[in-house]
Amino acid sequence: MRILLVLAFIFTIALADRDGGPYLGVGYGISEYKDDGKYDGILEKNSDLIFFYAGAYINKHLSVELGYAKMQSSKYKVEHDSKNLEVGYSLHNISTLAHYAFFDERLDLYIKFGAGFIKSSNEDGSSFIYGIGSSLRLNELLSVKFAYDIYEFGYDENANGTSNYDMKIHYPYIGMEFQF
């Protein structure tokens, strides 16, 4: 019975098309911290960001995605200290994407909404993610993605367990997606 299930899974993946099936992707872009000037300790507002994701098309208009983003270190100044420390963020999220395809399903426009968990060297908490993007299908298996995501989370300036204000990380990126 197990062999039949494994074979059914393999044939499902092998014969999946745009109407359904799993996919993997990787993206690279530049992230920018947006805090409306409330946290002036951040010296570098931009940093590189690498994004890995896996998902599944439920149909050609809806997909669900798990993502992991890792930001390179950014420098910030500590009050009452002359040293500049570095902090990096990692983001885990789950998102729902609503797709609309054009030109024989070669060009795909989508919007993204989701939630996640953000972790840095000195704090962690929940985050929201939303964004827009487009995908250009090169062949049956490979797509190039152009997207703009925004991660929104609370910043706890006093380390007392409550967020003092919202921070946003804007992330335009380009990615490659492989669909099974």
Whether 55 has a pLDDT exceeding 50, the answer reads yes
- Give the model confidence (pLDDT) of 78-92 as tens digits: 454 555 555 667 888
CATH of the domain at 121: 2.40.160.20
Cβ–Cβ under 8 Å, residues 100 and 132: no
CA–CA dist 146, 56 (Å, integer): 18
The tally of domains found in the chain comes to: 1
User: Which residue has better confidence, 40 or 97?
Assistant: 97
Are 115 and 96 spatial neighbours (Cβ–Cβ below 8 Å)?
no
Rounded-to-integer distance, Cα 108 and Cα 60, Å: 10
DSSP labels for 28-83? EEEEEEE-TTS-TTBS--EEEEEEEEEEEEEETTEEEEEEEEEEPPEEEEPTT-S-
> Are the CB atoms for 95 and 133 separated by under 8 Å?
no
pLDDT at 63 over 70: yes
Look at the pTM and tell me if it is higher than 0.85: no
Quote the domain boundaries for residue 26.
Answer: 2-179
pLDDT at 80: 46
User: How do residues 163-172 score in pLDDT, each as one tens digit?
Assistant: 555 778 888 9
Judge contact between 77 and 179, C-beta under 8 A.
no
Dig out the tokens for 4 from the structure: 């039949």
Which has more pLDDT, 180 or 155? 180
Q: Which of 66, 117, 119, 46 is nearest to 89 (CA)?
A: 119
Does residue 66 register a pLDDT over 90? yes
- Amino acid 175: pLDDT: 95
* CA-closest candidate to residue 87, choices 45, 26, 150: 45
Q: What pLDDT does residue 28 have?
A: 93
pLDDT digits (tens, 9 = 90+) for 118-160: 877 666 778 889 999 999 999 888 999 999 999 887 765 555 5
